[in-house]
């Protein structure tokens, strides 16, 4: 739908502070489809993607599916610790002659860490110096809890010339089953993205596109209320959790630090026995086995509070043993 592409282009133009023509926007079958297309557009067999970690679980699998090699670069837990972490050194130290792109998700799933403009500028500088593509997963752009709001890396310097921006309607507009997202390609790459879309799912159903177009008409005030509701859920979780966890600036999750407990997966299983679902940390990075993800918006506040009580109880039992 030309109208939907134009509406998405207006959304992105507003965030970037510059005109994005509809021709650079591709409607996709959700953000996952958009990310798959971006990776296939830039990778050849054996090319490497630096995946800033912890990361969305499917990111590394999509890199492999595109014929690439995912190299996890731990950054989000280190940045969140606030000990003067050298982002430039960590990412640049992972660059090789086969590196073609940097992938990141911000606000981050699972840690809730948000890359500000200063840190985004570091990634832009690295990409320009090593001639790399930037693949920005902006799935949680509608849930940035900071006063400044969501910063789009494509608005930093000349980053738009090398950035594939992935967006989805499922999270922002509470319609994940509709499976509509979009990909904003750099100038000159849109035709490649369209060709790949035809080979990886074809056209998004028209009825789903109409639903997304209607969702885009949701008043800004209502979207703001939804963001504030998620932020309030985070404040509730933060104030009641007795388990060490990451500080959240956006998104729907916090990462529980279970290293003192002894075994993250055993903790997840024990919580499941008590009716509380957590995601095992190993899904989010090879170095995250001692962690687990908590979604603090998975249920109404009263139920979340009850779940946190059980989580605290299990954590207390385990730390007593250690």
pLDDT of res. 200 = 83
pLDDT of res. 60 = 97
Question: H or E stretch including 48?
Answer: strand 48-53
pLDDT of res. 297 = 95
Q: What is the dihedral of CA 298, 302, 306, 309, to 10 degrees?
A: 100
The two tokens of residue 212 are: 């997304």
pLDDT of res. 319 = 59
Nearest to 127 by CA among 50, 62, 235, 210: 50
Q: Which residues pair with 144 in a beta bridge?
A: 250
Residue pLDDT, tens place only, 122-172? 999 999 999 999 999 999 999 999 999 999 999 999 999 999 999 999 999
Residue pLDDT, tens place only, 178-226? 999 999 999 989 999 989 988 887 789 999 999 999 999 999 999 999 9
pLDDT band at 234 (very low <50, low <70, confident <90, very high): very high
pLDDT of res. 94 = 98
The two tokens of residue 311 are: 């989580």
The two tokens of residue 24 are: 């650079």
pLDDT exceeding 70 applies to what percent of the chain? 99
Nearest to 150 by CA among 15, 321, 291: 15
């Amino acid at each position: 739908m030309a109208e939907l592409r134009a509406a998405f282009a207006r959304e992105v133009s507003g965030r970037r502070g510059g005109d994005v023509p509809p021709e650079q926007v591709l409607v996709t079958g959700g953000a996952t489809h958009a990310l798959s297309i971006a990776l296939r557009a830039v990778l050849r067999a054996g090319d490497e993607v630096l995946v800033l970690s912890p990361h969305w679980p499917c990111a590394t699998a999509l890199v492999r599916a595109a014929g690439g090699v995912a190299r996890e670069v731990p950054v989000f837990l280190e940045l969140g610790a606030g000990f003067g972490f050298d982002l430039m050194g960590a990412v640049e130290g992972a660059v090789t002659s086969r590196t073609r792109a940097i992938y990141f998700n911000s606000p981050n799933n699972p840690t809730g860490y948000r890359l500000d403009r200063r840190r985004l500028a570091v990634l832009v500088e690295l990409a320009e110096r090593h001639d790399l593509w930037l693949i920005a997963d902006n799935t949680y752009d509608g849930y940035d809890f900071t006063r400044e709001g969501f910063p789009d890396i494509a608005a930093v310097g000349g980053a738009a010339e090398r950035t594939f921006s992935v967006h989805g309607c499922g999270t922002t507009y509470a319609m994940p089953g509709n499976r509509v997202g979009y990909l904003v390609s750099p100038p000159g790459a849109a035709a490649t993205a369209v060709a790949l879309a035809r080979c990886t799912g074809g056209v998004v159903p028209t009825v789903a596109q109409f639903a997304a177009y209607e969702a885009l008409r949701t008043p800004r005030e209502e979207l703001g209320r939804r963001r504030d509701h998620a932020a309030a859920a985070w404040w509730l979780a933060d104030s009641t959790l007795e388990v060490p966890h990451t500080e959240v600036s956006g998104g729907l999750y916090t990462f529980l630090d279970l290293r003192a407990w002894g075994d993250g997966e055993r903790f997840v299983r024990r919580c499941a026995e008590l009716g509380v679902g957590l995601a095992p940390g190993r899904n989010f990075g090879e170095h995250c086995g001692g962690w687990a993800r908590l979604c603090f918006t998975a249920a109404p506040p009263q139920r979340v509070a009850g779940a946190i009580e059980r989580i605290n109880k299990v954590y207390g039992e385990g730390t007593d043993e250690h």
